[in-house]
């Protein structure tokens, strides 16, 4: 039964992908995986999807511990983010310069020494590649 369900989800996701892929550059509607589903995300998945997965992983960026993220639709049954940091919305307009956003994740203490946000790059909490992927994801939402 479970197999059937998975197959069905995969089928629906595939259709959704096929439909949206033709319309826009980013296929995301309906396919934001939960952290469990992220384990099955292919190695050659696009950087946006990988960025989302790195962001929600508790041993990765764990961004949702402090931030809400506005992805649509929110994965069913997946707990909402915290409210310590500002919600992750309209990132492309808030960070017109990609490097500013990357620098903010790499070491937010440069702009605000008292910030609660960990210096993800400087303290090697996640890889440089993960940071790039997370930036890609953030600029897509």
Partner 1 sequence: MKKLVSLALAAGFAMLGASSAQAISEAEINDDITEFQGFFLKRFPGLAPGDFVDGVNALPQYAHRRANWELLMEFPPYEPEMEKAAEEWDTPFANGKGFKDCDLAPANIYPVYDAASDDLRTLVGDLNACLKANAEKPIKNVKRGKMARLIAHYKAQFNGEPMAVDFSEAGAQAWYEKGRQFYWAKRGQLNFSCADCHVHNSGNAVRGDILSPGLGHGVGFPVYRTKWSLSGKPWGTMHRRYGGCNKQVRASPFKAQGVEYKALEYYEAVMNTGIPLKVPSQRQ
- CB within 8 Å of 72: residues ≥ 6 apart: 29
* 3 state DSSP class of 88: strand
Region 35-94 residues binding partner 1, contact defined as CB under 8 A: 64-66, 79-84
Q: Are 51 and 129 in contact (CB under 8 A)?
A: no
Question: Contact region for partner 1 (CB under 8 A) — 25-33, 88-96, 108-116, 128-136?
Answer: 108-116
Q: Give the separation between CA 38 and CA 110, rounded to whole angstroms.
A: 32
Using CB under 8 A, pick the residue from 72, 93, 97, 114 that binds partner 1.
114
Hey, which residues between 119 and 138 contact partner 1 (CB under 8 A)? 119, 123-125
Q: Does 109 bind partner 1 (CB under 8 A)?
A: yes
């Amino acid at each position: 039964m479970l197999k059937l369900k998975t197959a069905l989800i995969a089928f629906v996701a595939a259709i959704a992908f096929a439909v949206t892929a033709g319309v826009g550059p980013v296929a995301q509607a309906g396919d934001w995986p939960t952290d469990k589903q992220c384990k099955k995300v292919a190695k050659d998945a696009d950087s946006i999807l990988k960025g989302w997965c790195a962001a929600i992983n508790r041993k990765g960026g764990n961004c949702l511990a402090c931030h809400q993220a506005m992805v649509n639709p929110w994965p069913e049954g997946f707990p909402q983010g915290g409210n310590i940091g500002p919600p992750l919305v309209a990132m492309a307009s808030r960070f017109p310069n990609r490097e500013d956003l990357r620098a903010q994740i790499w070491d937010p203490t440069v702009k605000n020494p008292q910030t609660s946000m960990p210096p993800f790059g400087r303290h090697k909490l996640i890889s440089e590649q993960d940071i790039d992927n997370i930036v890609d994801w953030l600029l897509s939402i």
